[in-house]
A and B are shown apart, each in its own frame.
Chain A
Amino acid sequence: MDPAQVAETLKHGAVPTAWYLALSAVLFVIGVAGFILRRNIITVFMCIELMLNAVNLSFIAFAHEHKQVAGHLFTFFVMVVAAAEAAVGLAIILTVFRNRSTLNIDEIESLKN
């Protein structure tokens, strides 16, 4: 996409859907990578949030593209769930930290064996 084309598109006042999707994908992959590679449980948690929001972004993008309200709806659902999850998840993290004095997920493995 040459700069002239970009300028042309922006002149019309709209960012192409593909850009949103690309951003969403990049964010999601960052989230996955962080989820798998990071050891700090809070970081992991934030990565989960990142993935959720990446998905939200793609929902909105498609909703805009297809002029349908369902995407918005789904986004709200995801946000509500994410909020609830954050509340419960943070509580769990707090408790874990209180009991174990660590936030390293490799050390929290009592389900093993």
Chain B
Amino acid sequence: MNLLDIIIAIPALGFILALLIPRSNAQLSRLFALGVSLVTFVASLGLVTGFDSKSTGQQFVTNFVWIQNPEIHYHVGIDGLSLWLIMLSTFLTPIAILISWEYIQDRVKEFFAFLLLLEFGLIGVFASWDLFLFYAFWEVVLVPMYFLIGIWGHDRRIYAAVKFFLYTMVGSVLMLAAIIFLYTQAGTFDYVTVLDMLQSGRIALTHLQETLLFLAFFLAFAIKVPLFPLHTWLPDAHVEAPTAGSVMLASVMLKMGTYGLVRFCLPMFPGAAKENAPWIATLAIIGIVYGALVAMVQPNMKKLVAYSSVSHLGFVVLGVFSFNQMGLDGAVYQMLTHGISTGALFVLVGFLYERKHSLAIKDYGGIATVAPWLSIIFLITTFASIGLPTLSNFVGEFLVLQGAAIRSFSWAAFAALGVILSACYMLWMYQRVFFGTVDGVEVADSHGGHGGHDDAHAAHGHDAHAAGDHGHDSHGHGFPDLNLREWACVLPLVAMMVWMGMYSQSFLPVVSAQNAHILDTTRKGPQASNVNITPVPGGNAHAR
């Protein structure tokens, strides 16, 4: 039993114990869940410190037979790809618990228990090395999310929850069929063995078989990503989900899809992946531009952020199917940074909702005067999401676009349009929500006069902040600034945005090494073509 097993076990045990807490003691449920998630997070830091960055193999491996017949292994381990995704899950779960502290007043115990179950499933997905185990965890994740949306969601929660569940089910059933087919061929569910057999040719797939298997896996992952045009479950799920659900959904669950693409689709079926790359990349680019355009006209903040996720995740898929080091590195990095920045956006939108009980952009205005710190944090997050250099998302987007440009310059040119559009929709939203005046009356004109007005309000809001730690405050037009608990939620996120934007070397080398390894294995595929970046003097052949 190594550290990884412990990290998987803690939330699972926490889930069971959380259910045993008496229903009447809501505060204990909260504290217990927070404690469990914090312990998990601290334990997961041990993964980072204990990780051997020179090795590209699995680490922290546990492998024993779970079910005898058919032989299914409990085989977990991490590598450079899954390390940061597990960290992302353990990092965001305490934050998700903290933001629900006051927002969830109904069935408190179950809510926090489900969050722990969700964490368990997510860690399991990223750690599994057995195809069946992976599938099992994949489905485990669905359940708590279904209930989070269905029970604690907004008005159309049942519709959204069912849509979410069925959409993802369609994909996962296909994936299950593909996994079972692989089992009949290989006689084992163990991913390492299956992969080895595929690569060494001991399982000889016909071209049709390979394509179909690839598509089955791809569809499951593409729905989860979600890739255009399979994305319509996402906006509904996000809008209806409670804040914590949106955060976990956008930040980590979507990454299950992109993780699957990198982990399974590419290494197992490199030939089919390369063959199908052009239309997949085209869909990704359409998704980037389409998501951004639709986000631009959304009247609902959560929907806007949801569509922006469609756009950002399009970058990830584009990077993956660029088949080169930069594209893949950028894609994985974008997964992480999108988790942070979009998670933060949902957290902040949740704060706004808790104060004003509306998600409609038009109901807001002038928040910058009453809640200056909230506005500043939101602004930083906005610019991180837009991809301002020095903040997190830029690194990923740059590498993805550069990788895509190496593969095909026109891909990068079209995808980069999304970068322009992201500025449009985010800044327009920011302007409508935070600028202007609270009561919607436009200040006439001229400067000088209203300057004092500004500071009076700002000071007002500040007082609210100082006194607002208890959550209930009548200052600032009933719109208090961030309280202590909220600061505790957003500060780590903002710190990560700056850290990941300024010093990607803390995260990227491990990922890079792993991606190099994956690319290396895919090159052994039948239609290997070396598209790594090579400085060719005058090599503008790619550029056309």
Chain A in direct contact with chain B (Cβ < 8 angstroms): no
A residues apposed to B, CB below 8 Å: none
B residues apposed to A, CB below 8 Å: none
